[in-house]
Amino acid sequence: MDTFDLFVIGGGPGGYVAALRAAQLGARVALAEEKYLGGVCLNVGCIPTKALLRSAEVYETIQNAKDFGVKISGDVLPDWSAMQKRKEQIAGRLTKGVGSLLKRADVILFDGRGRLLDAHTVEVTGSDGRVQQVQANKVILATGSRPVQLPLPGFDLPGVLDSTGALELDVLPARMLIVGGGVIGAEFATLFATLGVQVTVIEMLDRMLPMMDAEIGQEIERSLKRRKVKMYFNSKATNIMQQDDVLRVTVETPEGNQEFAVDKVLVSVGRRANTENLGLEALGVRLKRNGIEVNEHMETNVPGLYAVGDVTGAWWLAHVSMKEGVVAAENACGRPTRIDYKTVPACVFTHPEVASVGLTEAQAAERGYQVQVGRFPMMANGKALTYGERDGWVKVVAEARYGEILGLHIVGAHASDLILEGALALGMEATLDEIEATIHAHPTLGEAIAEAALAARGAALHLTRP
């Protein structure tokens, strides 16, 4: 029976990064993946979605080419099949890249599903049905998550999709109803509406992106309205019926029940940790409501057994999974370390993009801080105007006494890239003074961050004072 220093179950962002880091540290590492390397993110999540969103963005830009002094002769039409082909090529290239990295790091790959027989024995059932047992000094669980399925009438009909199904559509539907106005719902609403689909969003809470700063939700609602998306808040879908080729969806709204006739329904109401059939119960692994319980070192209550990523039921973000994978691998290899979640950025790839790190204005006030807030609109930023990206703003949330940065929230072009300054500021406990003292290159979108920091003290240079 083979013996390894570390065995990783799951080859998604958390799992493969954990394997690579442990191999760097000199461990003999094996990894089992039952479906595809890169997990949901690379294959049916982050990367494919962003590839399609970029295609939609290019299509929208070409439609507005006259605004940039460019004449287009003939019709500009979206080619969904070509977009899908491009998406598959990008995802395939990245997945192959992960395989190459693991091979060069001498990580032994098992093609199959892994489960624990005890704290140091892993059973792998291969795709060919062959069963193997291996020994490992330490084990990392990185089995990811899956979309939540609503236990409501009609939600198992063929035309009702999860995010994976939406990415695999052969043709664009004429009408789509999206259940859920969170990150996945907002991104798919942007994608399909930009490509001409009539989109309706149903959200149980009172705004889009309800987990983020309230002003962000309002900004994205305006963006979606420009794309003719209809949104219903404080509402919930209760029933779906098939009538010929049409799905009829009953929705409870504050104004009473309404019925929508659509071609497809996308359910995007969250994800559930993959904790089943891993042998956790026999080992007494402690679970919480939505995943495996771990400490700050990513270790479970069973010594030598770690868990990272979505299976812990905390953040559901690929970049958090990767960092947790590094932390778990280092601890498993005898290098004590921990993760600091204060600096985790959240990004939404709508148009305009959204990014956030740290506390919202409301959260800071709830925690007892005396808050000062600075805002700067992208329409006052030179680079944004040259790019034709006037929508959005930067919002800095700071503590009033010392000016410590508590949060940064951005709506606008490349928000997902700009947010890194905020994450670094939070990690270093930087203040408004330090943001102001940093010279930001001109003309760049990043200048808006410096101006927002100045605005927190009423000193923005490129805004007219009220």
Helix axes 318-332, 13-24, angle to 10 degrees: 30
Q: At residue 92, what is the residue type?
A: G
H or E segment to which residue 24 belongs: helix 13-24
269 contact partners, CB below 8 Å, separation of at least 6: 148, 150, 179, 180, 182
Q: Which two tokens stand for residue 170?
A: 């052969």
Residue 32 has phi, psi (to 5 degrees) of: -115, 130
Which residues fall within 8 angstroms of residue 278, CB to CB, at 6 or more apart?
9, 115, 116, 141, 143
Q: Is 442 in the active site?
A: yes
Burial class (CB in 10 A: 0-12, 13-18, 19+), 5: middle
CA 47 to centroid of chain Cα atoms = 10
User: What is the largest distance, in Å, between two alpha-carbon atoms of the chain?
Assistant: 74
| H/E segment holding residue 385 | helix 382-386
In what order do the strands lie in the sheet containing 198-202? 160-161, 264-267, 175-179, 198-202, 230-232
Q: What is the Cα 403 distance to its own chain's centre?
A: 30
SS3 50: helix
* Alpha helix ranges (H) inside 152-213: 163-167, 183-194
From 297, 409, 440, 442, active-site residue: 442
Enter the tokens of residue 54: 């970029």
Q: What six digits make up the tokens of 141? A: 């669980």
- Rounded distance between C-alpha atoms, residue 47 and residue 164, angstroms: 12
Beta strands in 344-463 (DSSP E): 345-348, 354-358, 371-377, 393-399, 405-411
Please give the positions annotated as active site: 442
